[in-house]
Structure 1
């Protein structure tokens, strides 16, 4: 595949070995070709790395300008999907931002926090309304 034919969609059809070769080609051409600007190569490099990461294809991270420019543009890691009848997301591997607990306003419940020798599959966050003042 030629670099000018690359898109995130077209990369899904490329074998792992060719994906690795395209990654190497980006490093070879970065700043050394008039056919592509540096920004063009960075964009293509990011698409390739995102596909490699998605497939679990290893690659060498070099401390060079191309890798430094690409790093902040990479997609965040996605949770693994279990291949099964329901293709459920494995919640234990899902990286979620921390929850800020506000006493008597946000509460957590569900099997996730009470799991002992169980396989939890959910967590419930309860948002409470304003507390009513007790009379008496």
Structure 2
């Protein structure tokens, strides 16, 4: 799997998924930092559903950043989000991970070393290089870990 790619919204996501589709690669999208608190889980769930409709067959793991607020994690779970990151204390993260698992979701540590395409002078070329360097092609008919059924 490749380094996570932080997106700011739908246009960034379309760019990333277009390149991933063209390269036949799986990709991990990460929301803006703390997005669960100011954009909400409903926004992320709707965005990822739209992207999956627009890019069928492109494997994507879409992680909503909940910062260090357990309430944002719980609200995102209620909104149907299945991949969440949490930056709070480990003992709280363990409890939230258990709750997430009961909802068929996963809790991740905060994304580090993300790629931010809007900071690149040639974002499409930078994404192609990233996907070629860090990812293995996804064999047809299979899903990378954590993306089955999404």
Same fold, TM-score > 0.5, yes or no:
no
Bigger RCO of structures 1 and 2 (CA < 8 A, at least 6 apart): 2
Q: Normalising by structure 1, report the TM-score.
A: 0.31
Q: Rg: which structure is higher?
A: 1
Which structure's residues are more often helix, by fraction?
A: 2
